Amino acid sequence: MSIRKINFIEGEYYHVFNRGVDRRTIFESQDDLEYFFQRLVDLNMVVTDLKFNSKRYRKSGEVVVDKKYKNLVSIISYCLLPNHFHLVLKQESEDGISRFMQKLGTSYTMYFNQKYKRSGSLFQGKFKANMIDGEFGLPVLSVYVNLNYIHHRINLKSSLVKSSIFEYLDEELGNSICNKEEIRSVVSEIGSIDEYKKFAKNTSKIFGENKGLVIKDVDLDKVFE
């Protein structure tokens, strides 16, 4: 996964996405999906300071170096689908998004190629990124990403899919990796969680209409019931 030439700014939000080369699947099993998902957590740390722990050395003779860490990015929302992924990221450190995506792409491609005995690129060129702006830009994009599997008519329970929608609905379904304060901020732009649900339903239908798709209430109700 190459690095896109874009000036990422600390404190700003970006829609980051990519798909498999030749539109191939990038997740062949649940283990693949979980590996990528865990890398979103593991690769998001950078050491900002090293300090020799003199107190422990005097006490036990043990040489210990204390490390201070900082996140490269905050994860605002995500949707992982069989052949592509969407992320909404806030840059927290200098070059945070570029460094994070480079590590993520390299780590997952090496894992995937070794597991499936293949070589070469797994992703379709450089990852794509757009800065988020405009009124309700972040809430609108959160809906687009959180419910992207519905826009592609993919069954969440029977397919290799992971979405942060349930983190937004404050439901305990697996590990939470999104920044909770950021989620609360996004939801509060609309109002309560119930108001966010209504907003998400209406916004998804608009996305569907723009793509010539009919997003059925029954499909949305399965998420928000």
Using one digit for the tens of pLDDT, what is the confidence trace for 2-49?
Answer: 444 578 999 999 999 999 999 999 999 999 999 999 999 999 987 655
Per-residue pLDDT reduced to its tens digit, 135-178: 779 999 999 999 999 988 887 776 799 999 999 988 765 678 99
Nearest partner of 167 among 38, 74, 78, judged by Cα: 78
6: in domain:
no
H or E element at residue 73:
strand 73-80
Domain span holding position 87: 13-224
> Backbone phi, then psi, for 220, in 5-degree steps?
-70, -35
7: in domain:
no
Structure confidence at residue 45 (pLDDT): 83
93: in domain:
yes
126: in domain:
yes
3: in domain:
no
Structure confidence at residue 53 (pLDDT): 47
137: in domain:
yes
pTM across the whole model: 0.86
150: in domain:
yes
4: in domain:
no
Are 14 and 20 in contact by the 8 Å Cβ rule? The answer is no
H or E element at residue 29:
none
The number of domains in the chain is: 1
User: Residue 27 is part of a domain; what is its CATH number?
Assistant: 3.30.70.1290
Per-residue pLDDT reduced to its tens digit, 167-189: 998 876 567 899 999 999 999 99
User: Any bridge partners for residue 85, and if so which?
Assistant: 18, 80
